[in-house]
Amino acid sequence: MADIYSMVIGGQNVAAAQTFEVRNPSSGEIVGLAPEASSADLDHAVAAANEAFSSWSRHSDAALQAACEAVTAKLGEHAEELAELVTKEQGKPLNGLGSRWELGGAGAWAGYTSALSLPMKTLQDNNEGTVELHRKPLGVVGSITPWNFPVMIAIWHIMPALRTGNTVVIKPSPFTPLSTIRLVEIMNEVLPAGVVNCVTGSDGGASIGAAMSAHPDIRKIVFTGSCATGEKVMRSAAETMKRLTLEMGGNDAGIVLPDVDPAQIAEGLFWGGFINNGQTCAAMKRLYVHADVYDAVCDALVAFAKSIPMGDGMAEGSILGPVQNRMQFDKVKRLVDAGKSEGRVLLGGEPGDGLFFPATIIADLDNDNPLVAEEQFGPALPIIKFSDVDDAIAQANASENGLGGSVWSKDIDRAKEIALRMECGSVWINKHGAIQPNAPFGGVKKSGIGVAFGEEGLQEYTDVQVVFS
Ligand code: NAD
């Protein structure tokens, strides 16, 4: 019998009238049955969060910090249990940059965010009067998360909301709802009832997610997911003038200059593109390599990629796992086929068993090939040759996305000059995708609105109130 999970509302486990199956992408086995929330269940969760807000928002700053620290400690105690659940429902291996690493990141973000604060700022204090800037919590925050890093992204949404005195209703992806339900249960061991609630639904998340975006008693939506869904959220949030943080898709470019040592950068290039099997918002999804080092970089990258074992996530030896779901697998296959029709396959290219798709590297592509132009969000990296750096920058910028980018060179000053010309929210030199809790992270152009992390990320969960006296 599969485990039956329930919603978490007002500090209680609440069973839903119906459930849906959550399957392990490595084996196809059922991991558990998730609750199918109705719109009445959502209303119930929002009402519980609203009720909790009246006292939670009046906690002192020190009390909010202490509560967030207690949540961080609980997360640490349950890290291995949550990592195993993430591996079972998401597919990523326990090891490498897999679920244990994800839980480590979640703990680091939780701890760092607990220690942040937004004290009152005195803008003026003179004989003409005093002007104070206060940061006030918004109310109920609705969090909508994707399936690629279910626990870490939930922590990115929940912790800054709690730290600033808001309450939360979270709705995880229907592909990975169980670890979020368990995370919220664990949080409820140390939080007052109703401060964090969890509802789940199966229909691609469309009905519950859409209902959250339109809900009159939700004051902010923090959304991480695809651009298409983010646009829908923004449209329906307009009617209630919700605050929004939208962290959406990317098609990050990496630019390799002619002065690199190919063997030295191969590992960084590989993990830049293939972290979490490429199912990472800020993974490197297009690689532009200067003609002088093109063949050597391709060879070094392929040699490194061949050394990475892929297999069932629960096997301790696996470093890469399956693609998370059939829809994503079919998308990766379509884009790889498009790449194969015009490019040269250096590695992989043929689907494996079940949802396994081997690491695939395809060279000699142009900017308009679909594998280059679209976000693949999977284990396939296209390589494009360039001989003029200005052309490479122009091609990198010829995208409606602008999440991350990278420049690879021994000349750090030159790399920084190029970095500043790239249209994206984060740029890395000689690495790709390395985010950290003290650095604001967000996208430009269609990759999103607002930032997460650090003080700037915390501010997004507040309204400004200015007091003149
Ligand atoms: P998705 O847009 O399909 O789903 C994201 C969430 O939205 C899920 O919880 C889903 O149930 C919900 N949803 C679906 N329809 C909805 C609707 N009409 N209204 C409201 N919510 C709805 O995305 P996904 O496939 O789960 O995730 C992959 C995408 O997420 C990629 O494009 C990736 O780049 C992006 N992503 C971005 C970041 C970032 O920080 N920028 C991080 C991780 C993933």
Decide: 212 and 218 in contact? Cβ < 8 Å: yes
Decide: 87 and 93 in contact? Cβ < 8 Å: yes
Confidence of residue 205 (pLDDT cuts 50, 70, 90): low
Q: Per DSSP, what are the bridge partners of residue 169?
A: 142, 197
The answer to whether the CB of 173 is under 6 A from ligand 1 is: yes
Predicted pLDDT at 203: 81
Q: pLDDT tens digit string along 25-49?
A: 999 999 999 999 999 999 999 999 9
| Residue 132, pLDDT above cutoff 90 | yes
The answer to whether the CB of 248 is under 6 A from ligand 1 is: yes
* Residue 59, both tokens: 């906690």
Residue range 390-404: average pLDDT?
98
The answer to whether the CB of 213 is under 6 A from ligand 1 is: yes
68 is catalytic: no
Q: pLDDT tens digit string along 216-245?
A: 999 999 999 999 999 999 999 999 999 999
CA-to-CA separations, 221 to 42, 226, 252, 316, 352, in angstroms, rounded:
14, 15, 25, 37, 38
Closest residue CA from atom 23 of ligand 1: 225
The CATH code belonging to domain 252-436 is 3.40.309.10
Residue boundaries of the structural domains of the chain: 3-248+447-468, 252-436
Q: State in Å: Cα 344 to ligand 1 middle.
A: 32
CA distance 137 to 116: 15
281 is catalytic: yes
Confidence of residue 206 (pLDDT cuts 50, 70, 90): confident
Residue range 297-313: average pLDDT?
98
The CATH code belonging to domain 3-248+447-468 is 3.40.605.10
Catalytic residue among 247, 298, 375, 460: 247
The answer to whether the CB of 403 is under 6 A from ligand 1 is: yes
Interior angle at CA 437, CA 435 and CA 442, nearest 5: 60
Percent over 70 (pLDDT), the chain: 100
| Residue 458, pLDDT above cutoff 80 | yes
Predicted pLDDT at 418: 98
DSSP strand pairing (129-137 vs 121-126)? antiparallel
Confidence of residue 133 (pLDDT cuts 50, 70, 90): very high
CA distance 131 to 81: 49
Predicted pLDDT at 232: 97
CA-to-CA separations, 336 to 134, 150, 154, 378, 384, in angstroms, rounded:
51, 26, 31, 10, 15
